[in-house]
Amino acid sequence: MRSIVKLAAPAAAAALLLAACGTTGGDDTATGGESSGGSSSCPSGLSIGFFGALTGPDANLGVNIQNGVKLALKEHNAESGACQVKLTPYDSQGDQNQAQGLAQKAAGDKNLVGLVGPAFSGESKVADPIFADPDVNLVAITPSATNPALADNGWKTFFRVLGNDASQGPAAASYITGTLGKQKVYVVDDSSEYGKGLADLTRKGLGAADVKDNTIQKGQTDFSAVVADIRASGADAVFFGGYYAEAGLLLKQMRDAGLTSDQVAFVSDDGAKDQGLITAAGESAAEGAYLTCPCLPPDKAGGTFVADYTKENGSAPATYSAEGYDAATILLKGIAAGKVTRADLLSYVASYDEAGVTKQLKFDDKGEPSEISVWAYKVEGGQIVADQEIKAS
């Protein structure tokens, strides 16, 4: 996710792809019923996509989202007379170097009318310009890509259902210095589009409380030098901007080196808010770690979502499951309303204003949601539990 891929001219690439009308060859049917016929009101083979990590080191986050999407799709297809819709997965492995090719496949799939995703900020930066090309015009609703700059590119096809890091970064800083009462914070980022962006916003919010900065790399496993520097800095808290695999290993090595939770609090973000953090760190080392997220605690989701999701998946919803469900529901309600072309579905999403399971879902002219909240979470007894909503200061 570190290097930026240079794109071919979007219009030329899109024209070639649309002429080819290729598919990914990896449809996940998840239909729950017979396909409708090929009428103009319900084209045969109609699909929505999920774009994000389903394999690789950050796959848990993508799987959480796709499970929410699948539930929304199953419910839609079970409705009497519903236009049957398939799910087409685009597994990015969380690697923005794969995003261009996957985005081109999505652009060229004549049956694909909308996307949930891209899930991560780095891949969004690469893929969303392709979707926004007028010759492609593919609406993409992300439930998890939080870099604020994504909304500043003029992409008419870009929407997200949760707050961006311009809210999470200051909230994390406020929580660390206010609620936790920490005065010397060591800030580390993973150099990714997401992790560095969020860490920089948190650094700004911390002001003089940011006593030292450092950067690691995605995939790094040895943090001994960083841990030694944390100790030397005299920090009473560490904030890590990045994903759960590296966050968990850094936390483990901090605790193994004798930097206890009483001495140095560990705080990370929504990219680390996953059971994979506890697996990587070990339950003992992870105990007492804090996490921030512009996502609703799953057990606070509205309606019967929690019960339905748990029944369908055999486990409770996790980070972004409800947001994935909401994003898919918007697309599927548009299809149910007869918006079965890319242009019509895009217009439908842009004017959408209905209650979801996470919040009232409505977008401004940049694709940002009208309602934003940021929550703090804590690891207790091997589980990630909600601590409190972080109110704007």
pLDDT confidence of 377, banded at 50, 70, 90?
very high
Which of 151-155, 283-287, 388-392 comes out lowest in average pLDDT? 388-392
Give me the CATH number covering residue 16. 3.40.50.2300
Residue 15: the pLDDT is 38
Q: Could you give the percent of the chain with pLDDT greater than 70?
A: 89
* 150 or 299, which is more confident: 150
Which three-class secondary structure state does DSSP give residue 191? coil
68, part of any domain: yes
State CA 349 to chain mean position distance: 19
Domain shared by 268 and 284, yes or no? yes
Q: Which pLDDT score, from 0 to 100, does residue 22 have?
A: 35
Mean per-residue pLDDT, 370-389: 97
Under the banding of pLDDT at 50, 70 and 90, the label for residue 391 is confident
Q: What is the pLDDT of residues 250-280, one digit of tens each?
A: 999 999 999 999 999 999 999 999 999 999 9
Do 133 and 38 lie in one domain? The reply is yes
Average pLDDT over residues 230-240: 98
Asked whether residue 3 is domain-assigned, the answer is no
Q: Looking at the structure, tell me whether residues 52 and 143 fall in a common domain.
A: yes
From the list 92, 17, 100, 20, the residue with the least C-alpha distance to 58 is 92
Decide: 93 and 55 in contact? Cβ < 8 Å. Answer: yes
Give the model's pLDDT for residue 30: 39
Q: The domain containing residue 134 runs over which residues?
A: 10-164+299-362
Spatial CB neighbours of 181, under 8 Å, sequence gap ≥ 6: none
Q: Taking the CA of residue 200 as centre, how many other CA atoms within 13 Å lie in the half-sphere pointing to its CB?
A: 11
What residues form DSSP beta bridges with 375? 293, 389
Residue recorded with tokens 């839609």: 76
Q: What pLDDT, on the 0 to 100 scale, is given for residue 393? A: 60
Residues 342-370, mean pLDDT to the nearest whole number? 98
Which pLDDT tens digit goes with each residue over 78-128? 999 999 999 999 999 999 999 999 999 999 999 999 999 999 999 999 999
Would you state the pLDDT for residue 35? 36
Q: Which amino acid is at 143?
A: P
Q: What is the mean pLDDT of residues 206-213?
A: 98
Q: What's the average model confidence in pLDDT over 340-344?
A: 98
Inside any domain, residue 2: no
Q: Which residue has the tokens 């695999």?
A: 245
pLDDT of amino acid 64:
97
- Helix runs in 112-221, H state only: 121-132, 165-174, 193-206
Domain shared by 35 and 120, yes or no:
yes
150 plus 33 within the same structural domain: yes
Are residue 16 and residue 153 in the same domain, yes or no?
Answer: yes
Q: What is the mean pLDDT of residues 372-392?
A: 95
Average model confidence (pLDDT) across the chain: 91
Per-residue b/e over 365-387, b at no fewer than 16 CB within 10 Å?
Answer: ebbbbeebbbbbbbbeeeebeeb
- Residue 299's pLDDT is what? 85
Query: Does 308 score more than 80 pLDDT?
Result: yes
Is a pLDDT exceeding 80 seen at residue 24?
no
Closest by CA to 47, choosing from 110, 132, 140, is 110
